[in-house]
Amino acid sequence: MSATPFRRILAAATLLALLALSACAAGPASHAGQTAAQPSPSTPAPTPSASPSPTARPKPGSLDWYVSQVPTFPEAPPPRPVPLPVTGAIPFWHRVPTDQKVAFITIDDGGLARPPAVPDFIGRARIPVTMFLNSPAAEEYGDYFRQIQASGGIVENHTIRHNSLSGRSYGYQKEEICGAADKLETLFGKRATLFRPPFGEYDSTTIQAARDCGAKAVLHWSETVHEGKVRYQTPEKVVRPGDVLLMHFRPALMDDLLAALKAIHRAGLTPALLEDYIR
Ligand SMILES: [Zn+2]
């Protein structure tokens, strides 16, 4: 029997899963990606007779520079929320089933690194973001995440301990999901309505427990972004309407946000808020 193409797809899927897993599980990045510090001149710069430029360009790597690099997007369309099942299982999505010209930025975890310029970048560039946080990190660094929340960012649920849920008992999964949801609600004043399982690993029990803890959908992702590079899971290498981009609170998050924005812009789309589409 000619199972080769299917095997190839399986192998590709396995590779993608491994990539995704390593994307979520990898340790600290070796460096932040934008460490090219300008050497300070040992002698004062000669005073030019020509007048200095009245509009000094922001220094690469500064917050002003990141803001200056953000593309200008077409205005986001008025969101049309996607239909959700009224009863039964909640959906599990790799991307939001919409044909509106939008894509979604999501940032996971929270415990590893929180670049200090990120809240201001998100605020000044008005980047819509959804944060899937582990509740202990959310609690320990609450002020940081509340700054992003104040700029319109939404906090969602990514369990307490960031363990793989697949194959675990209902009781264990419910404790991880409801426990995080309860804590996040206390910290941020809003019940999480979306759930993302650690490493993207889940089973039917996960869907059930997420629903029982108040989630309206379980979210995977369509693209990952790491150290300023977008990794696509389709050969077309383009962000499509409804795609969900995954990045993490890691040292290069400024670069990851910028790379995601540029990729969304290249595709002719505008970043939008996940919660405007899944209500
Ligand atoms: Zn994670």
* C-alpha closest to that of 276 among 129, 118, 143: 129
Residue found under tokens 């609690």:
139
Axis crossing angle, helix 170-188 with helix 204-212, rounded to the nearest 10? 40
Residue 95 DSSP label: B
Which residues lie below 8 Å from residue 86, measured CB to CB, with a gap of 6+? none
What is the Cβ-side half-sphere exposure of residue 110, based on CA atoms within 13 angstroms? 30
Q: Which residues of 10-34 are buried (b: 16+ CB within 10 A; e: fewer)?
A: eeeeeeeeeebeebbeeeebeebbb
Location of structure tokens 């194959």 = 167
pLDDT at 53: 57
Write the pLDDT tens digit of every residue in 7-53.
444 444 444 444 444 445 433 333 333 333 344 444 444 444 445 55
pTM of the shown model: 0.82
Task: Tell me how far the alpha carbon of residue 190 lies from the centroid of ligand 1, in angstroms.
Answer: 21
Residues with CB under 5 A from ligand 1 (ion): 24, 108-109, 198
**Do residues 171 and 147 make contact, with C-beta atoms less than 8 angstroms apart?**
no
**Integer Cα distance of 219 and 158 in angstroms:** 10
Q: Looking at the chain, how many residues does it have?
A: 279
> Ligand 1 centre from 223 Cα, in Å?
14
Structure tokens given for 204: 């039917």
pLDDT, residue 56, reads: 81
Tokens standing for 263? 């990729």
CA of 25 to the centre of ligand 1 (A): 7
pLDDT of residue 13: 46
What is the whole-number distance in angstroms between the Cα of residue 60 and the centre of ligand 1? 30
Ligand 1 center from residue 49 Cα (angstroms): 55
CA of 158 to the centre of ligand 1 (A): 7
> Which residue positions in the chain have pLDDT lower than 50?
1-23, 25-50
